[in-house]
Structure 1
Amino acid sequence: MTATAPTDAADQDVTHPSSSPARDIALVAAFAALISASAYIGAIPVGSAGVPITLQTLTVMVAGCILGPVRGFSAVTLYLALGAVGLPVFAEHSSGVGVFSGPSGGYLLAFPVAAAVGGFLVKYVARDRRTSALVVFFCSLAASVFVIHTFGITGMKLFFDVSWREAATYDMPFWIGDLVKTSLVAMIAAEVHRAFPQLLQRD
């Protein structure tokens, strides 16, 4: 009986949804594809900077809040790598490393960090409360405010060579949309964690 116990434990580990490397790779690839698709939805330039509004922030934060810090970061990094090598997966069908030095470059560079921060907060701060949409909302909002908007403002300040105040005004049109998208992130992620409570057991 003691001889079969390690085998049973190993079998449980192999078949556990959160412990399969193949499943992790599939999730990372699937969310990278989802982020790529979301770049085409909307893509409406707004404000003086002309940076387009897309659903990227929605899918980036969904990736982080659902997959956790490591897999969320990996999915967004894979997305950026695909765009960097020439696939037209960025907003307005753009691609190449030059996009990172453009007006939206700060936002793009912020995405993997924001996914990691949001995922970290959901996994290690929210913990069992990650099935609450309100809790996930504040985890995602913190990552959006302190990472995405901070990086985005910095990128526009450097690109346009303007003051911090003026760069912040370029960023303001995105806030209302981001609050709506953060609400959607919270509802989606909370429902996923309610349905799959072991999803973040290993990340």
Structure 2
Amino acid sequence: MNTRDLVLVSLFAAIIVALGLIPPITLGFIPVPITLQSLGVMLAGVILGAKRGALAPLLVILLVAIGLPVLSGGRGGLAVFAGPTVGFLIGWVPAAYVTGLIAERFARPAMAALPQTLGFFAAAAIGGVVVLYLFGIGYLAFGAGLGLEKAFLGSMAFIPGDLLKAAVAGLAGRAVMVGYPLLPQRA
């Protein structure tokens, strides 16, 4: 890993933290708030790729663990890892990795605008929504004792907003690919 990679990982960790400055919206029927930090995870994956993209949320998780209030709502510290949202927090790393992996394979620099944007959207939707929800719902159901049905149904309220975030990540991925491509390419 070179200096450029370290700077990019740190920049996207800072973007994830900055998106946490926007106050969370709580729904009341599920203990997970709506935040914009998952958008930062999607952006890290589509713009930086699998490896560097996964390191950005990992850095944020490390900052949380040492006690910095970098999560939405000013949360931080080891107590976060005992809360009901820890599945979503830990899921950031594999979500960014899968998002980046799909983007590296299906969003080529030489592609036309629409297929490339759709490739980025699909990467963000699969990695940033499906993979993230597997971890988040799994912990809510079994770790927090909410039950699989209640955790799954409660999480469905977040799908429209997360698909909107995936669309924003797809458009941002396309814009960065056109102007300053950072995404590594896989065969």
Asked if these proteins are the same fold (TM beyond 0.5), I'd say yes
SS of the residue aligned with 1:115? helix
* Structure 1, 133-142 or 159-168: larger mean CA deviation: 159-168
Residue of 27, 39, 51 corresponding to 2:32? 51
Q: Which residue of 2 aligns with 1:176?
A: 160
**Bigger-Rg structure (1/2):** 1
AA aligned opposite 1:148: L
How many angstroms does 1:166 deviate by? 0.9
CA distance in 2 between partners of 1:47 and 1:147 (Å): 24
Superposition RMSD on alpha carbons, in Å? Answer: 1.9
Question: Within 5 Å, which residues of 2 pair with 1:147-186?
Answer: 147-186=131-170
Aligned counterpart, 2:94:
113
Q: Deviations over 1:132-188 (max 9, x none)?
A: 211110111111333111111111113441321111122112111101111100000
Whether contact under 8 Å (2:106, 2:119) holds in the other structure is no
Deviation per CA, 1:180-200: give whole Å up to 9, x if none: 111100000111011123x23
Write out aligned runs for 1:34-49 (5 A): 34-49=15-30
Aligned residue type for 1:117:
V
| Aligned residue in 1 for 2:179 | 195
> Which one of 62, 66, 76 corresponds to residue 95 of structure 1?
76
What is the TM-score normalised by the length of structure 1? 0.83
One-letter amino acid of the structure 1 residue matched with residue 59 of structure 2: L
Separation in structure 2 between the aligned mates of residue 143 and residue 116 of structure 1, nearest angstrom = 7
The structure with more strand, counted as a fraction of residues: 1
For 1:97-153, what per-residue CA distance to the aligned partner results, in whole angstroms no more than 9, with x for missing partners? 221231111100110111010001111233344952111101111113331111111
| Matched AA of 1:185 | A
Partner SS, residue 119 of structure 2: helix
1:122 to 103, 110, 115: 103
The residue identity in structure 1 corresponding to 2:183 is L
Q: Larger deviation: 77-86 or 34-43?
A: 34-43
Amino-acid identity (%): 37
> Partners of 2:99 and 2:160 in 1: how far apart?
19
2:14 is aligned to 33
Deviations 1:22-79 (CA, angstroms, capped at 9, x unpaired): 1111111111111011112141112412311111111111011100111111111001
Distance 1:153 1:201, change over 3 A: closer
C-alpha distance 136-201 of structure 1, shift in aligned 2 (>3 A): closer
Show the 5 A alignment for 1:58-69. 58-69=39-50
